[in-house]
Amino acid sequence: MELWYTEEWTDNVRFSIKTDRHLFSGKSEFQTVDVFESKEYGRFLTLDGLMMVTEKDEFIYHDMIVHVPMATNPNIKRALVIGGGDGGTVRELSRYSTIEKIDMVEIDKMVVDVSRDYIDICACKLDDSRVNLYYEDGVAFIKNSKDKSYDLIIVDSTDPVGPGEGLFSVDFYNDCYRVLSDDGILVNQNETPYFESYAREMKRANNKISSIFPITKVYQAHIPTYPSGHWLFGFASKKFDPIKDQNREAWESLNLKTKYYNSDIHVGAFMLPQYVKDMLNED
Ligand code: SAM
């Protein structure tokens, strides 16, 4: 019998992957956690029936959430990841020898444990000596963090429902601003603009961040297993413009081998389709 993983992208659209094995299924205090194995996408992790990472396309999301801010400010030394339990964001950050501290705050320990057991391609750097893991709510963690204690905050969260909801609130973004250094950068995953229900959330998050940070921009990537495949990220900073201040030379001198990110796509990713620009500009 064929086994298919099917996820509802909207009430009227579904996405399916033929799977070979259902490797793990569990229920934590916060969500249901599943891992499947498939021919096309390798192993993949889902939370509450929504795709988080696949072995085949995780590099796109993790490259774009990490290297865009790092190539804008090569002096980032103290990084905070909120969510990100699969470990992919920490893995990419750990490639920078200039980073001294990587704190990761994941609300659900089960996600980290399961990723360590089944998705090693992402979790492989969680034991780096610079990494500190905290199992708590990112909203509370940041509320209790000292002013200007991080140079980079990456919100690698689930969607704005369930445990992820507070990570899309004005209070949370205000705390991010307070906790970031004067040349600090905030990056968050920002949903798809293509389907209306997700786009509404993206627009709301963007309005909130723009009311707090002087520099805000939206950039995009093609992520085949996320709804519609067209995904957005938010970039916010007190000082740096990601295009004008892109430090091509410094980043290229590091010789990091990346599979999606490069210095050209850094700029190209900020060139948005007209319908997305219109959406962001409308009141
Ligand atoms: N790449 C993924 C995506 O965009 O679909 C995100 C992956 S990562 C697994 C998201 C993580 O955020 C989950 O493990 C979830 O438990 C965590 N998370 C959700 N709400 C959180 C909160 N309030 N504080 C800390 N972590 C949270």
pLDDT at 281: 87
Half-sphere exposure of 34 (CA within 13 A, CB side): 15
175, 210: one domain: yes
CATH number at residue 36: 2.30.140.10
Same domain, 199 and 134: yes
**pLDDT of res. 46:** 98
* Number of domains observed in the structure of the chain: 2
Residue 156 annotated in active site: yes
Q: Which of 108, 156, 159, 175 is catalytic?
A: 156
Residue 225 near ligand 1, beta carbon < 6 Å: no
Which of the listed residues 11, 37, 54 is the one where a domain comes to its end?
54
Question: Measured over all CA atoms, what is the biggest interatomic distance in the chain, rounded to whole angstroms?
Answer: 58
Whether 73 and 187 have beta carbons less than 8 Å apart is answered as no
23/139 same-domain check: no
Determine if ligand 1 sits within 6 Å of the CB of residue 158: yes
ipTM exceeding 0.85, yes/no: yes
Residue 162: give the domain boundaries.
58-281
pLDDT of res. 265? 98
Are residue 7 and residue 88 in the same domain, yes or no? no
**Residues 245, 246, 247: CA angle, nearest 5 degrees:** 105
pLDDT at 25: 98
Q: Whose CA is nearest to atom 14 of ligand 1?
A: 85
Are 34 and 66 in a shared domain? Answer: no
Residue from 157, 159, 192 to probe ligand 1 pocket by mutation (most atoms less than 8 Å from CB): 157
Predicted pLDDT of residue 230: 97
Give the domain-ending residue among 54, 71, 90.
Answer: 54
Task: Indicate if 96 and 156 belong to the same structural domain.
Answer: yes
Is any atom of ligand 1 closer than 6 Å to the C-beta of 66? Answer: no
Domain finish residue from 32, 54, 76:
54
Are residues 215 and 143 located together in one domain of the fold?
Answer: yes
What radius of gyration, in Å, describes the C-alpha atoms of the chain? Answer: 18
pLDDT in tens, 68-113: 999 999 999 999 999 999 999 999 999 999 999 999 999 999 999 9
- Tell me what pLDDT residue 159 has: 81
Question: Does ligand 1 come within 6 angstroms of the Cβ of 242?
Answer: no
Q: Are 140 and 172 in contact (CB under 8 A)?
A: no
Q: Can you give the pLDDT at residue 1?
A: 83
* Confidence (pLDDT) at 202: 83
pLDDT for 180-204, tens place per residue? 999 999 999 988 999 988 888 888 8
Cβ(242)–Cβ(70) under 8 Å? no
Burial (CB count <10 Å: 0-12, 13-18, 19+), residue 158 = buried
**Phi, psi (deg, nearest 5) at residue 14:** -125, 155
Q: How far is CA 258 from CA 22, 59, 160, in A?
A: 30, 8, 29
Say if residues 76 and 185 touch (Cβ distance below 8 Å): yes
Give distance in angstroms: CA of 30 to centre of ligand 1: 11
Q: Which residues in the chain come in under a pLDDT of 50?
A: none
Atom of ligand 1 lying closest to residue 31 CA: 16
Closest CA to 223 of 186, 190, 271: 190
61 sits in the region (left: phi over 0; alpha: psi -120 to 50; else beta) called alpha
Per-residue CA distances from 118 to 40, 86, 207, 261 (Å):
17, 10, 37, 25
What's the pLDDT at 120? 98
- What is the phi-psi region of residue 87: left when phi exceeds 0, alpha when psi lies from -120 to 50, beta otherwise? left
Residues 106 and 168 in one domain: yes
Pair 24, 146 in one domain: no
**The predicted structure's pLDDT at residue 165:** 87
Residue that is written with structure tokens 């090569």 in the block? 74
HSE at residue 96, side-chain half, CA atoms within 13 A, is 26
Same domain, 17 and 152: no
Instruction: Give the C-alpha separation, 80 to 90, whole Å.
Output: 9
pLDDT score of 199: 86
Dist. CA 279–CA 274, nearest whole Å: 9
Q: Is 61 in the pocket of ligand 1 (CB under 6 A)?
A: yes
Q: Looking at the structure, do residues 36 and 117 belong to the same domain, yes or no? A: no
228 lies in the same domain as 275: yes
Instruction: Measure 138 CA to ligand 1 centroid, in angstroms.
Output: 9
Indicate which CATH number applies to the domain containing 217.
Answer: 3.40.50.150
The pLDDT assigned to 164 comes to 85
